[in-house]
Structure 1
């Protein structure tokens, strides 16, 4: 199963347990792009509509949402069914015909990395009006090295060593790589990167449920995933029942290069 399809199997869990995006980020997107309420917005990979809510809550409702997963698309369509100017189209971005273009703004939340950048950024460029802009954002994993996280890391080394975050890119490396990809396509200018961070608290059960919505965890064998998550839950319960996580989001802004 491809990573971009894994969330469709757990649409309701994704909606319940994934943290929302920071309000400040949406303010920065709109200030940068100079979008007015009537402008057309394209959202690529809307999932369960978490980022869509950030747009609608600011009265931006002229939105076309593209979502590959049928369950995810249905959930989002139901959530916003009272807004007649908001459309949810169940297809892949690669296969979509671009209905409704040109758009003033294109956004994508923790989804655009599933699309080949050489195709994706160029296709977005084609769909935007000359004064258009992008606001693509990702949740960035931040390793923590206190006692509980080090204990949890030992479980990863046993059951999923390729997910041991001490061996993966640092947040800074991940962000720099994404910025280089955005710049390297040559389709956008005035690239800006902004970061938002907050410390979130989870019960052991909620943290396990959160991990279970992660595509890389979903791709583990059922046995390894269950063993891993059970070990993590037991570790958190023994340390007091709660765990803190640095929730970081990186936003990449750019304006269409004419």
Structure 2
């Protein structure tokens, strides 16, 4: 199964357990793009509408959403069934066609699933003059307190490729995406903003969150269950809660 298809299996859990994006992030997008309430927004990979809601909370409701996963698109459609100006299209972005131009195109922890040779050019073509692209991602932050060290041992035992000691640092991840966006040649005035939050989870909540991550979804069910049971038991042993630091990176650019 492709990574980008895994979220469709756990739509309800995704909506419940995935962390929300900081309010400041949406304020920064709105201020940078100078959005008006009548402007047209396009969201690529809306999932269950978590980022969509970030703009709705500021009363921006002219939003067209494109989502590959059928269950995800259905959940989001039901969520906004009383909002006539929020449209959900169940389609891959690469295949989706539109004759409309947009003032803001945004994507939340999804654009890496789009073929970059198609995605950036297509966004450019869909933007109005001086329109804004806003791409943002959650970025994993490795932690080295005793609990996280013990969790790392579980991954080394059952799924060594998920040991975050082998993963790029947050700076490397952020710099790589900045390089990619800059070198498309489609956007100027590119800015990067970072936000950090700390979330507290019970053992059950934490493994439910992990169960929405694509790389965990790609594990065999047997391996996944062993990892999750071991992690949940470990969190119980360490007092019943785990704190996870979450970094968000936002990239802003204007159409040349």
* Aligned position for 2:24: 24
Q: Distance in 2 between matches of 1:70 and 1:44?
A: 14
* Aligned position for 1:137: 136
Residue-pair matches, total: 256
For 2:38, what is the secondary structure of its paired residue?
coil
How far apart are 1:223 and its partner, in Å?
1.2
* Aligned position for 2:147: 148
* Aligned position for 1:227: 226
* Aligned position for 1:192: 191
* Aligned position for 2:254: 255
* Aligned position for 2:114: 115
CA deviation vs aligned residue, 1:41-64 (integer Å, no higher than 9, x gap): 000000000000011111111110
CA deviation vs aligned residue, 1:203-252 (integer Å, no higher than 9, x gap): 00000000000000000111111111111111111000100000111100
The yes-or-no answer on 1:74 pairing with 2:74 is yes
CA RMSD of aligned residues (A): 0.7
Q: Distance in 1 between matches of 2:115 and 2:162?
A: 23
* Aligned position for 1:83: 83
The yes-or-no answer on 1:55 pairing with 2:27 is no
TM (normalized to structure 2)?
0.99
TM (normalized to structure 1)?
0.98
The structure 1 segments of at least 4 consecutive aligned residues displaced by more than 6 Å after TM superposition are none
The runs of 5 or more residues in structure 1 that have no matched partner are none
For 1:232, what is the secondary structure of its paired residue?
helix
Q: Distance in 1 between matches of 2:108 and 2:153?
A: 30
How far apart are 1:30 and its partner, in Å?
0.5
Contact in 2 for aligned 1:118/1:185 (Cα 8 Å): no
The yes-or-no answer on 1:208 pairing with 2:211 is no
For 2:106, what is the secondary structure of its paired residue?
strand
Q: Distance in 2 between matches of 1:142 and 1:197?
A: 10
How far apart are 1:164 and its partner, in Å?
0.5
The yes-or-no answer on 1:40 pairing with 2:40 is yes
Q: Distance in 1 between matches of 2:59 and 2:197?
A: 25
Q: Distance in 2 between matches of 1:190 and 1:157?
A: 42
Q: Distance in 1 between matches of 2:162 and 2:124?
A: 34
How far apart are 1:129 and its partner, in Å?
0.6
How far apart are 1:118 and its partner, in Å?
1.8
CA deviation vs aligned residue, 1:41-95 (integer Å, no higher than 9, x gap): 0000000000000111111111100000111001111111111111000000011
Q: Distance in 2 between matches of 1:198 and 1:125?
A: 31
Contact in 2 for aligned 1:142/1:246 (Cα 8 Å): yes
How far apart are 1:105 and its partner, in Å?
0.2
